[in-house]
Amino acid sequence: MINDKMMKTIVVHEFGAPEVLRIEERALPIPGPNEVLVKVKALSINPVDVKTRAGKGLAGRLRDRMPLILGWDVSGVVYTSNSDEWQVGDEVFGMVNFPGLGNAYAEYVAAPADHLALKPAGTTHEEAAAATLAALTAWQVLVHHMKVGRGSRVLIHAAAGGVGHYAVQIARQLGAHVIATASAENKDFVYGLGADEYIDYRSVRFEDATSGIDFVFDTVGGDNIVRSFDVLKSGGTLISIPTGISPEMAAMAKSRGISCRFELVYSSGSDMREIARLLDTGALKSHLYTRLPFVEMAVAHEVLERGRTVGKIVLTVQ
């Protein structure tokens, strides 16, 4: 029986510092109807992982389900299938059950069939795992929420980060004129992604360096949101992903004739297929900041918390 087998997982019994991430053995999960069991080859982490582990992020939603297996981003091989869509041996990747409990910090993950896409043959499992939550966030914000089109002027904050580096590439594919903020050491990197203009946010106030923006993609939060109002033209839109929008911010935006809101990514197999298509054609590439073994998850969290990551952190599962 599958559930007689054991697997390594990383479990959180209490919220706190990276040291709360404990390696434990558990029985393999049993996939339900229209689910598959994925033997994980690689997974990636995101700021929401770090925030939730620390008691913020999605902790409020998940607190009653302790102990938790965090994580949502996986790439691997279908081990068993209760779905007509996937066969044993298929190589798949996706963001699982977000914003619920993904249980992805594990060697095997039970995933809804419609949260996955076929991994392109020319894409490694590490590259595919990276292009899940972060790439989906960029896709859903730019395509579904902003409806960015040819000629749109798009300002992307923290363009060298996990979400940001996908957002620059996707916005360019949509035909937008992309203005990217990043540190000086990442100037060449963001230009290499396809940015049309670059702003060193440390030496220049971005609101003094650009204007007439149709869409601001905010991945920073804080006062960056209100400051961005100054660059938006009338009818423009700002979407922030790290933090919510206060009533005061919303009122200020409305008084200026602009839209300002928070959006949260959601699991979607159809959107994952679009990401797979872009990866397959080479139009979208994952930049891997570092690769670590699965058992070094606490180290991965520490690295991400430093806030200097360029691209994505991935972990490999042996």
Q: Are 97 and 213 members of one domain?
A: no
Domain that holds residue 82: 2-131+286-316
CATH number at residue 301: 3.90.180.10
In a domain, 273, yes or no: no
Each residue's pLDDT tens digit, 63-74: 999 999 999 999
CB 181 within 8 A of CB 199: yes
Q: Are 155 and 38 members of one domain?
A: no
On the question of pLDDT at 4 being above 80, the answer is no
Q: Work out the number of other CB atoms within 10 angstroms of the CB of residue 234.
A: 7
On the question of pLDDT at 205 being above 50, the answer is yes
Residue type, 259: S
On the question of pLDDT at 194 being above 80, the answer is yes
Q: Are 148 and 113 members of one domain?
A: no
247 three-state secondary structure: helix
**Band (144; pLDDT cuts 50, 70, 90):** very high
CATH number at residue 141: 3.40.50.720
State pTM to two decimals: 0.96
Sheet bearing 232-240, strands edge to edge: 197-200, 177-182, 153-156, 213-218, 232-240, 259-262
**What is the rounded average pLDDT of the residues 96-105?**
97
In a domain, 6, yes or no: yes
